[in-house]
Structure formats: C-alpha cells, structure tokens
Amino acid sequence: MSTTTRPATLTDEFLDGLVARVPGSSGATWKLTEVYTGEVLVELPQSTEEDIERAFHEARAAQRLWAQWPLKKRLEIFERAHTLLLDNALTTTDLIQAESGKNRRMAVEETCDPPMIISHYLKRAPKLLTPKKHGGPVPFLSSSTEVHVPKGVVGIIAPWNFPFATGLSDAIPALIAGNAVVVKPDNKTALSPLYGISLLEEAGLPEGLFQVVCGEGPDVGPTLIDNADYVMFTGSTATGRVIGERAGRNLIGCCLELGGKNPMIVLDDVNADEWVESATFGVFGNTGQICMHIERIYLPERRYDELRDALVERASTLSIGASYDFGPEIGSLVSPDHRDRVASHVEDAVAKGATVLTGGRARPDLGPAFFEPTVLEGVTKDMLAGRTETFGPVVGLYRYRTVDEAIKLANDTDYGLNASVWSGDIARAEAVAERIESGNVNINDALATAYASKATPSGGVKNSGVGARHGDQGLLKYTDVKNVAVLKKQVLGARPGQDYDAYVQQMLHSLKLMRRLRVR
C-alpha cells in the first residue's frame, strides 16, 4: 500500500457521518488533517457555549432514565459493545492512524483498551455498586447502608495521544455507574472517539446519553466544567491546574492525569538483551507520545558503555515511516507544531553541551511531522530536555555509581507519574521501587504492565496528577455515597426521667464493653 493512500474504510461519506453528531451552530469548523500527508480529512464543527449547554441538557434528560435502569440491564449493553469494539477494531485503527500519525502496532493496541476496561468492570461493577449494609452505632438495633449513586453528567476532556482509549475508557465506568457523559476530544483526534461512541449506541446505549462537543480548550473547557458534575482530564500539568481550580470553585470533584518526566533505573545485574527491547519501546513507543513513556534512563557506571551502545544501536535501526501497514516501527508526531516543540528541546540541549548519540533531526522527507528517534548524553537540569516533559522520541542517558544515587536522581523532579526498574533479582528491584516517588512503577517493563493492570488504580503523585483511573477507584469516583441509616428502637439518648450522669456512665461503659467484645 502506498504510504500516502488513505484506507478504503475512510470514505468521505463515512467521515462526514461521524462529525455530523458534533454540535456547531455557529458554522465554524476546524480542518482535521491526515497527519502523514497534511491532507484535510473533514471539516470538524466547533461547538459554541450554547451548543455545550444544550448537550449537557440533553445528557441530563437521558441520564435520569438511564440511572433508573437495573445495573444488569446496563451491563448487557457493554457485553454487546465489547464484541462490537473488537469486531470493528481495524476500522478504528485506520481512524487512529489517520488522525494521530502513530504506527499501526500502537493504533491496534490502543483499540484494545476500551474492551479491556469493559471486561474488568463487567466483573467488578456488580460488587462495587450493590448497596452494602454496615453496623450502626448500637449493635443489633441500628444499621447503616452504603449506597452509591451516580453523580449525574461527567465531563471528560480527552488528549490527542490516545484519543480512542481515553475518550472511551474513561467514559465507560462513568456510564456503567449510571452517569451520562459529555466528552471533548482534541480537535486533531476527534474521529476515533466519535466512531467508538457510535458503536456503543449500536450496542444499545440510549441516544443522547453520550454527547460530544468540539473546540479548542480555552473556548470549550470553561463551559464544560461549569456544567459538569465531575471532570476527568488527561493532559498537561499547566492545564490541569486551571481545570482543578475551576472545578474547586464549582465544588465538584475532578481526576487529573498530568505530565511526567519518567525515569528508568537499570541495576547492574540486568539482562541487556531483554532490557534493550523494552527500553526502546518505553522511550520510542507511539513516537514518545505516551504519558508514561521513559525520558530519563540511569545506567550503572560499570556497565554504562555496554548498555548505552546497545540502546543507541537499537534506536538507530528503528524503521520510521508513514504507512497503514505493520512495516514502520515508529510513526509520526501528531503535528508540525509538536515536531517543532520536540526539536526545540533537542536544539536547546545541544546548545548547552549535550551530545546527540543518534537521531536528533526532523524528517520532512517522510511527512510533515516526523522526527527521528533520539538518544542524548550529557543532559543537565538547565536544559529543557533535562527538566520538562519533552513528550517525543527523545531520551537522556545518565551514569550513576550507587543505587542510592540513582534513586535520588530519579526522584529529583516535580513529576511522579511512572517509573521503571530493571534487575535480574525481582526482590532487589522491588526494594528500589518502594523508594521511588511515582504513582506507577514497572519492574522489568517500561510502562505497559502497570497501565494494563486494570484492577489496580493508576495515577500520578506530585505534579503528575490527582486521583486515578482503573481499579475500584476508577468507577467509584463517578459516584456519590448515600448513607441510609436505620434505628429500630429509640435507644439513643437518656430514657425519660433517667439521671443524665447515670446515662453518661452507662454510655461510657457500653463503649468499653463493645470494644472488648469487638462488636464496634
């Protein structure tokens, strides 16, 4: 297949049908392009404040009915959706590649995330959402029941690096819990989430329950947050601060997965052949545009040259190109603007004394936004590449003499999203992992094992975020807890005519007795 030939699945009629559901009463549009070529794929409507408010109004109306459905009936829709998402994965893959420029392997793997989320919560949701009865203050005569109720309408602001995965996977537990959703995808990557929503509706999701609005963040974000009952955001730390502040003023909750400057510590007993393949993916997977990707690698002094040379050799042989088949190992960056940002980090590092061991150049011969896999040496904290998130196919290598030094260097950042530790001794690696300040730590893997473990919450610490997706928390955050308390007999308080001093002594004695008997 020609590297510039649009897949046959992506007809103009198909694409126009996807964006037809986006409200845009002003007539303003945004040119959504194929990243490989710069060709305009579709004119994406841009939503006004009135459009957004109307979307929330329609979502609330649908949510009131949806929340009344028995959980079993809601889950049946997601059983069907699981099948539809997998049966149509290759069409989704074509969309993801066209709008984001990633290579086909990453695009296919992205399509697997929503079915994995569905599978997990199909098993877990009944236990999480079934009311739980607890003891009350007086044994046998009182009880308290924990009831989880949906928050209402959840606003989701999805990023461009994994538009289908985050656009759907963050919405699925919210929907299962009985909420409606209004999602704002990035303008550059709105097609794949729009297609995913159409598949959910084909599976039986009520029309109007899952709304989409489009526009640039500053134009759309404030109105979305002001109308939402909860906000889920994935993106930069700077934007996350703005969203968190506005959510706080509105007294609504939010979950923020933000930036990272993720480290990898390689211990001196590592198997170099196993390490180099995982490290290569951890740095260059999705052309470095993964929130959890590795940007700093700490290598032991006595094996530094060996491990450095192995990584540089592997990086230099990575195939890079624009293709809708499985040939290229590395695809494009998402846009020329982002290519320029990545290039500026490399140029700044070189100007301040860093050395490019491989890569370091844009590749306009391949497409508008391609950049070579790049390995740097001699990166310092006064360089952009040494302190801020590059979010591209660039990594810095660092020497260390002791494990304590490596841990100190790894923690020397304002971020704390993901980290990786490599060793031939799992217990030794675990001891290091315990000391790393990060929401996720992968042992003998770069990033995938932590993120794909859907039963365990995944989030960041420090400036990398608030809250988590996945695990029980990933669903329960979309609910409020109602406490239904029952008193069977009026035993709280002094009896009529009882001396209050006697009542106090009786109460204190009862509390001691209940503690000894362990009934409270």
- Pairing mode of beta strands 468-469, 374-377: unpaired
Q: What is the DSSP string of 203-222?
A: TTPPTTSEEE--S-HHHHHH
Q: Find where tokens 């001196």 sit.
A: 268
Q: Find where tokens 């989701």 sit.
A: 156
462, 416 contact by CB (below 8 A) = yes
Quick one: tokens of 165?
Answer: 């995965």
Residue 336 phi, psi dihedral angles, 5° rounding: -60, -35
End-to-end CA distance of the chain: 70
Q: Find where tokens 């030094």 sit.
A: 405
CA separation for the pair 131, 153 (Å, rounded): 21
- Which pLDDT score, from 0 to 100, does residue 494 have? 87
C-beta atoms surrounding 391 within 10 Å: 25
195, 218 contact by CB (below 8 A) = no
Predicted model pTM: 0.96
- The verdict on whether 110 is a catalytic residue reads no
Q: Which of 34, 58, 109, 257 is catalytic?
A: 257
CA separation for the pair 182, 178 (Å, rounded): 14
What are the C-alpha distances in Å from 183 to residues 47, 164, 221, 255, 257? Answer: 12, 11, 10, 14, 16
Q: Spell out the SS3 assignment of 278-294.
A: HHHHHHHHHHHCCCCCE
CA separation for the pair 326, 23 (Å, rounded): 36
Q: Which residues are paired to 487 by β-bridges?
A: 142
411, 265 contact by CB (below 8 A) = no
Query: Whats the size of the chain, residue-wise?
Result: 520
Give the domains, in start order, of the chain with CATH numbers. Answer: 12-258+472-479 (3.40.605.10), 262-453 (3.40.309.10)
**Angle between helix 104-111 and 89-100 (nearest 10):** 130
Cβ-based burial of 149 (10 A; exposed 0-12, middle 13-18, buried ≥19): middle
Quick one: tokens of 15?
Answer: 């694409």
Q: What is the pLDDT along the chain (520 residues), one digit of tens a residue?
A: 335 689 999 999 999 999 999 999 999 999 999 999 999 999 999 999 999 999 999 999 999 999 999 999 999 999 999 999 999 999 999 999 999 999 999 999 999 999 999 999 999 999 999 999 999 999 999 999 999 999 999 999 999 999 999 999 999 999 999 999 999 999 999 999 999 999 999 999 999 999 999 999 999 999 999 999 999 999 999 999 999 999 999 999 999 999 999 999 999 999 999 999 999 999 999 999 999 999 999 999 999 999 999 999 999 999 999 999 999 999 999 999 999 999 999 999 999 999 999 999 999 999 999 999 999 999 999 999 999 999 999 999 999 999 999 999 999 999 999 999 999 999 999 999 999 999 999 999 999 999 999 999 999 999 999 999 999 999 999 999 999 999 999 988 888 888 999 999 999 999 999 899 888 6
The radius of gyration of the chain from alpha carbons, rounded to an integer in Å, stands at 26
- Write the single-letter amino acid at 51: D
15, 1 contact by CB (below 8 A) = no
328, 103 contact by CB (below 8 A) = yes
